[in-house]
Structure 1
Amino acid sequence: MISLFLLIILLSIRLIIDLDLGFHLRGGQWMLENRSFHKFDVFTYTVNDHEYIAMYWLYQIILFITYKLFNYGGISILNSILLVIVFFMIFLRMKNHNIRPGIISIIFLPALFTMEIRFGVRPEIMTWILLLCMLTVLDQYYHYGRNHLFLLPIIQLFWVNLHGLFIIGWFLLGAYFISKYFHEHKFDKKLFWWSLCTILISLVNPYFIKGVLFPFYLFTRLQCSNIFKGAITELTSPWSTKALANMPHLPLFIYYAFVLISFLFLIYTWRKRKLHEFLIIAAFFYISYTTVRNLPIFIIAAMPIIGTGLNELLSKGKLNFFKKNIPGAMRPAAFLLTGFIILLCIRIVTNAFYAGRRGGNFGIGIDEKMHPVAASEFMNKNGLRTRFINDLNRGSWLIWATKQPVFIDGRLEVIQEDFFREYEKSYQRNGLTELINEYGPRLIIFDYSYPEAMIWEIQLQQLPDWRKIYWDETSVIYALNDYRPDLEAINFMKIVHKMGVDTTTNSDQIWQLLQRPDRSRFIAWLKGFYKYNYFPAELGRMAYYASVNLEFHASELLYFEFLQRTDQNHYAAYIGLGTIYMLTGQLDRSLYCYERALKQNPKSEIAARRIKEIKEYLGNKPLLYK
């Protein structure tokens, strides 16, 4: 277990990429400065008549105080400590169920890989901790008669002021109470009165009855018809094709396996199960079925079910194969598991674990390649205090870093469905123009890295009154031509040069370097154990954006720099270069790059199609690269 907890610690130490961090920090700062709770929104100019019911207000204050004392690094460490507490409590709960240590280890590892996709700086981690606290108190009372029920109201008091899913606590109380009545055929007065006190103490929050009713609004997002569910990835069902297309497959497949195995073990051991176990696993499966963000809640409930099921399987006398062979295999299996975990820990520290999946980075503090840190500094340095339109991804950080009212941000409970529909229309033809006409911004700032952003980009390119004044790895800023004329329109090549990219390299030199053979994947994998790995996703984003702006040489240089800096998958860079060369009429080079892309990804339909098109066009003409 020591190696497993080392793995948990290392997986929890990662640069902060969570887009909501900004509004949480600003929210905590605002409350302390104004000595008031949030009431109506003060962070946007579009929905400032909307109520802001921040059931995570205490989390925001804790986060801001941590930042003031220890900067962003302190937030990383705090989050890591909270995650270690979560898994330590899971371990204790499984141990209290008399689950064998070897079985706990076997269950922990896959569970960790599903839960780690939600290891960000989010208030939902407080729900995991308080959920486990309540389960522990109820288990101790139900199974062992240990009366610590007085802790339930205290747990709920923290829960209702830390996260909006505190209503799960009500469900747990009801499930255990019904189960006790069902099995013992008596009305448990102690549990009833402490449960009633726990429910009533939920009213002790800054919003009183509105706060108590708030989770019921959150549950509307679980409905398929809700606009947020269709637009926000974390609200997608893990069983949907969208989740499979946009998420790592391993965590999803582990979740599917946990669902299947936990239900099978419930059926297999149903005579020994209590009613509350069926109720909890069914309810938590439902909320995990509806949205990806709730996967850890189901995993937390499923782990003891699977553990006790495996215990039962091994103790059955009639299953002689398991009884005789598995215990003897546990020691070598433990050595193998420990070795695997140690190797994995090494790859996490060298960042190879994250580079290989092209997302996240090991470390402490903020990931400046994911947040508009530099863009915000540019706005502050140049005194750009004016009305602007921003996209959803940028709003949270701009609230925090510029201290200006934003157009929209990730507080969906404030934004609400009607305004979000208006925002979504901007990604239709002339939709952004309509927003500009209605709100009269003088700046537009957005994250250009996702497909919908290109719709804004195309619309802005067709508006002669707007110019680009800023561009970096995360964001682009447009300004009206008559606003701050002292700020010149950007020069792509100058920006690329300032990034440290050699802009004197010409296309012929790049072409010679591109024809180098692919690096050995095995050697690249081995380097992950002794050399720091980094996947420069931001260079790929910038290269693509430059190509959309027909800045082909800048794009070419950025793609080349991308290829130079990583041993990881080069597929996207070759596709991008193939497109550039096709658009500039360099079909021989385009064909070569598409063939390299197809070699990297044999299933690539776009590469195969472009290769066919170019070969048909060239006919029998000789190919220069051959």
Structure 2
Amino acid sequence: MDKNSATSGVLQTQNRFEFGIGSISLFALLVMVFIMGLVKIYSFDLGFHLKSAEWMLHNKKFIYTDAFSYGSDGHANYDMQWLYQLLVFFLYKMGQPVLVIVNALLITFSIALTWFRFSKYSTTVPAYIKACLFALMALFFVQPLTFEIRPHVFSWIYLNLIMLVLESYKKGKYKSIFFLPVIMLFWVNTHSLSILGLVTIGIYNVGLYFENKQIEKRLLLFSGFALGAFLINPYFVDGLLFPFKQFGLISGNGLTKSYIGEFHSPFSIKEIEALGKYYFTNPLLLIHLSAIIVIVCLLRSIIQKKYTDTLLMAAYLFILNLGIKNYGYYLMVCLPLTTRYITNWLELRLIAKQKIKTSSSQKKKKQPGKYAYNSKF
């Protein structure tokens, strides 16, 4: 066996080993997320969703007035999650285990989408290091996530898809923008928080304007189409305005926000004081640590003049501050972004180290040997 073939064999073995480490890390992460999703049904909202679907199927029309809440009979009801309710109803009819498994698969798919988005980021850092770093960051970010059976699970997927389209557009894949209105059409009929899709699209319009010093006309056009798609719901304009009414309820200091735990800010001092010494073993600590990482990456994005990333991280930190129930949206946006900035920092360190190594080797070559001939002798 010659020297070249032996070297080639060693490299192939090393590549397989590195690929294996990265693949195993990602696979273990997704398996862990799926297993975490296999929990008993504990959602108090599930009964409401099932009853709403049953009512729609029985009456063969959408819900326009509240017929389920005591004291609210006859009041306007904007059931923006009607599509989700019908799907959950059919899954529930197939058996509760089916509903739990599908919910766990959907959450796992959301995390897989965050990896797919991150993997599109080109870097000189070896692929296996990228995969291991992402798995480590995801392991950290996923711990506070709730695995409740709620329409938020679909919203996480839609948000990932919106981000994927916009990130592809930013990289020059302009045809991807055609998917924006389609995604928004499904999202608006699945969950009222579909307004976050429009918020994200708006952030990209503003961020790219500051980065490129010009308006992205094609993006602006399809943003208008996405807004038009938002109006295709059973409530038309009222369906568009309803999320703003929701925002008014949860952003103030009213009774709704005070008495519903998921509407409390995770950054409230009262929450930390209430936990006492148990704060250090509570997922709230991980949320605060993740927020510190996001803020550091946000500052780096300002230095690098990547204003779209700056606005995204700032916006979703604010959304998280509005209520701990929004943690999933914060995760889907910030996990790939923060991992990307950490990878970028690692890449710069490797490049600097390589330059020092190259410079050092060049200096050694220029220096004469111990017994070099001295022309002046």
User: With structure 1 as the length reference, what TM-score do the two structures score?
Assistant: 0.49
How far the C-alpha of 1:104 sits from its partner, in A, is 0.5
Establish whether residue 88 from structure 1 lines up as the match of residue 112 from structure 2. Answer: yes
Instruction: Quote the Cα distance in structure 2 between the aligned partners of 1:181 and 1:45.
Output: 49
Contact 1:130–1:155 (8 Å) recurs in 2 = yes
Establish whether residue 274 from structure 1 lines up as the match of residue 306 from structure 2. Answer: yes
Instruction: Quote the Cα distance in structure 2 between the aligned partners of 1:320 and 1:192.
Output: 40
Paired residue type of 2:290:
F
Instruction: Quote the Cα distance in structure 1 between the aligned partners of 2:92 and 2:51.
Output: 11
Where in structure 2 are the equivalents of 1:91-490 lying within 5 Å? 91-98=115-122, 100-115=130-145, 118-244=146-272, 245=274, 249-317=281-349
Instruction: Quote the Cα distance in structure 1 between the aligned partners of 2:76 and 2:174.
Output: 43
Aligned pair partner of 1:36 in 52, 55, 61: 61
Establish whether residue 75 from structure 1 lines up as the match of residue 103 from structure 2. Answer: no
- Name 1:59's counterpart in structure 2: 84
Instruction: Quote the Cα distance in structure 1 between the aligned partners of 2:32 and 2:220.
Output: 41
How far the C-alpha of 1:236 sits from its partner, in A, is 0.8
How far the C-alpha of 1:260 sits from its partner, in A, is 0.9
Paired residue type of 2:317:
F
Instruction: Quote the Cα distance in structure 2 between the aligned partners of 1:269 and 1:211.
Output: 35
Residue 315 of structure 1 aligns to a residue whose secondary structure is: helix
Contact 1:220–1:226 (8 Å) recurs in 2 = no
Residue 290 of structure 2 aligns to a residue whose secondary structure is: helix
How far the C-alpha of 1:275 sits from its partner, in A, is 1.5
Instruction: Quote the Cα distance in structure 2 between the aligned partners of 1:284 and 1:45.
Output: 35
Instruction: State the Cα RMSD in Å.
Output: 2.2
Contact 1:266–1:273 (8 Å) recurs in 2 = no
Instruction: Quote the Cα distance in structure 1 between the aligned partners of 2:142 and 2:90.
Output: 29
Question: Cα distance 1:292–1:317, how it changes in 2: closer, same or farther (>3 A)?
Answer: closer
Q: How many aligned residue pairs are there?
A: 321
Q: Which runs of 5+ in 2 are unaligned?
A: 1-25, 124-129, 357-377
User: Over alpha carbons, which structure has the higher Rg?
Assistant: 1
Establish whether residue 26 from structure 1 lines up as the match of residue 58 from structure 2. Answer: no
Instruction: Quote the Cα distance in structure 1 between the aligned partners of 2:301 and 2:242.
Output: 37
Contact 2:313–2:334 (8 Å) recurs in 1 = yes
Question: Cα distance 1:322–1:62, how it changes in 2: closer, same or farther (>3 A)?
Answer: farther
- Choose between structure 1 and 2 for higher RCO, CA contacts under 8 A separated by at least 6 residues: 2
Residue 179 of structure 1 aligns to a residue whose secondary structure is: helix
Deviation track 1:440-462 (CA, whole Å, cap 9, x = no partner) reads xxxxxxxxxxxxxxxxxxxxxxx
How far the C-alpha of 1:58 sits from its partner, in A, is 0.8
Deviation track 1:304-344 (CA, whole Å, cap 9, x = no partner) reads 232122112212248978999xxxxxxxxxxxxxxxxxxxx
Contact 1:258–1:299 (8 Å) recurs in 2 = no
Contact 1:113–1:251 (8 Å) recurs in 2 = yes
Residue 148 of structure 1 aligns to a residue whose secondary structure is: helix
Instruction: Quote the Cα distance in structure 2 between the aligned partners of 1:290 and 1:45.
Output: 27
Deviation track 1:173-195 (CA, whole Å, cap 9, x = no partner) reads 11111222222233322111111
- Name 2:74's counterpart in structure 1: 49
Contact 1:238–1:289 (8 Å) recurs in 2 = yes
Q: Name the one with the larger helix percent.
A: 2
Deviation track 1:150-172 (CA, whole Å, cap 9, x = no partner) reads 11011000111111111111111
Runs of 4+ aligned residues of structure 1 deviating over 6 Å after TM superposition are: 318-324
Paired residue type of 1:184:
N
Instruction: Quote the Cα distance in structure 1 between the aligned partners of 2:305 and 2:57.
Output: 48
Instruction: Quote the Cα distance in structure 2 between the aligned partners of 1:281 and 1:12.
Output: 26
Paired residue type of 2:341:
G
Q: Which runs of 5+ in 1 are unaligned?
A: 325-626
Question: Cα distance 1:311–1:45, how it changes in 2: closer, same or farther (>3 A)?
Answer: closer
Contact 1:86–1:128 (8 Å) recurs in 2 = yes
Question: Cα distance 1:235–1:321, how it changes in 2: closer, same or farther (>3 A)?
Answer: farther
